[in-house]
Amino acid sequence: MSLPTTEVVSAGPYIDARTPLAAAAFLLDGQSAAIEAVRSAMPALSNGAQRMASAIRAGHSIHYAAAGSSGLMGLADASELRGTFGISSDQIYIHMAGGVPVDAHMPGDTEDDKTAVMQIATTISKGDVVIVLTASGTTPFALEVAHAAQQKGAIVIGITNNPHTPLLAMADEPVCIPTPSEVIAGSTRLGAGTAQKASLNLMSTSMGIALGHVYRGEMVNVIADNAKLVRRAVGMVTRIAGVSADAAEAAIEQTGGQVKPAILVAAGCTPAQASNLLAQNDGQLGPCFALLSSNQTNASN
């Protein structure tokens, strides 16, 4: 039986037979090749992002499910969604085989554990999106979560690094990232993990854009809960609304720290008008500014 690509030994000379500098270059080349492999999966990743945006917009949840290094990639992406895009933490679930590690001990046998999926299934509802990651495409825990999710009427985005695998066959949105052989056979925390991380970044960022949480290249739905992010929020309001820092701070205070409505307040709206405008325009600042501009033009005529 042929081995999955991620388990195949790279062509020699092997990494341990190279000089330290050559070995480091070999590692970097492997990472670069893994990133390039994401390109072929971009249409599927874009589709996945739109599914995620639709779920969040409708009040459903996003779930990340995986084992081992794939689980860590999911954990990293999921944990940033609230801070970066203001996605409610109530709409984000992280399901990692064996639970999220709190130390350096991450048992390998948990990826074969199907029993934990029964509890996970209770958190999944119809209309949710469940992102299942497994480099091999055959991890029992991942496949069981995917099956349970579909039984619940959720949408499964299956991300794997090997083609023609069970996860791809059962996913509603199959995403194959055909990374080459790892420089250390089977060590999917290397190229496969890098490609998974990049793919999740691409999907979740595209979701944020679709939800209107990015405007003029800035994260306008950021949760400003530390000094650095408060300064960033003030800067965004200043630049986008074209006002002074003092006016930006006043607008942010009026909207309880919410940047998007603060931008509209700084542009001349009351907080209530800003909230109504955003609700009417699906959270998108562009159409809000277009309406404000049109109203100002009409008023001057």
Q: What angle do CA 295, 296, 299 make, to 5 degrees?
A: 85
User: Which range among 116-120, 222-226, 265-269, 294-298 shows the weakest confidence by mean pLDDT?
Assistant: 294-298
Confidence of residue 296 (pLDDT cuts 50, 70, 90): low
Q: Which whole number is the average pLDDT over 73-86?
A: 95
Q: Which of 48-52, 111-115, 279-283, 292-296 ranks highest by mean pLDDT?
A: 48-52
> Is the pLDDT score of 108 beyond 80?
no
pLDDT in tens, 1-26: 577 788 887 777 899 999 999 999 99
Supply the CATH classification number for the domain 214-300. 1.10.8.1080
Please give the structure tokens belonging to residue 153: 């009427």
Euclidean distance between CA atoms 188 and 251, whole angstroms: 47
Find out whether 215 and 286 touch, Cβ atoms under 8 Å.
yes
Q: Is 272 helix (H, G, I), strand (E, B) or coil?
A: helix
pLDDT, residue 297, reads 63
User: Pseudo-torsion of CA 13, 19, 24, 27, nearest 10°?
Assistant: 10
- Cα torsion angle, 138, 130, 69, 195, sign: positive
Strands 92-96 and 62-66: parallel
Euclidean distance between CA atoms 127 and 183, whole angstroms: 39
Percentage of residues in the chain with pLDDT exceeding 70?
96
Q: Which of 7, 36, 111, 173 is catalytic?
A: 111
User: Which range among 6-10, 95-99, 116-120, 128-132 shows the weakest confidence by mean pLDDT?
Assistant: 6-10
Euclidean distance between CA atoms 198 and 178, whole angstroms: 13
Find out whether 176 and 195 touch, Cβ atoms under 8 Å.
no
pLDDT, residue 102, reads 82
Confidence of residue 298 (pLDDT cuts 50, 70, 90): low
Task: Identify the DSSP state of 225.
Answer: -
Confidence of residue 107 (pLDDT cuts 50, 70, 90): confident
Say what the pTM is: 0.92
> Is the pLDDT score of 96 beyond 70?
yes
Q: Which of 7, 80, 173, 253 is catalytic?
A: 80
> Identical fold at 5-210 and 214-300?
no
> Is the pLDDT score of 299 beyond 80?
no
What is the DSSP code string of 114-176?
A: -TTHHHHHTT--TT-EEEEE-SSS--HHHHHHHHHHHHTT-EEEEEESSSS-HHHHH-SEEEE
Per the rule left: phi > 0, alpha: psi between -120 and 50, beta: everything else, 75 is: alpha
**Residue boundaries of the structural domains of the chain:** 5-210, 214-300
Catalytic (active site) residue 253: no
pLDDT in tens, 224-271: 888 898 899 999 999 999 999 999 999 999 999 999 999 999 999 999
> Is the pLDDT score of 52 beyond 80?
yes
Euclidean distance between CA atoms 236 and 243, whole angstroms: 10
Catalytic (active site) residue 111: yes
Architecture of the domain defined by 5-210:
3-Layer(aba) Sandwich (3.40)
pLDDT in tens, 125-155: 999 999 999 999 999 999 999 999 999 999 9
Q: Which of 60-74, 92-106, 215-229, 283-297 ranks highest by mean pLDDT?
A: 60-74
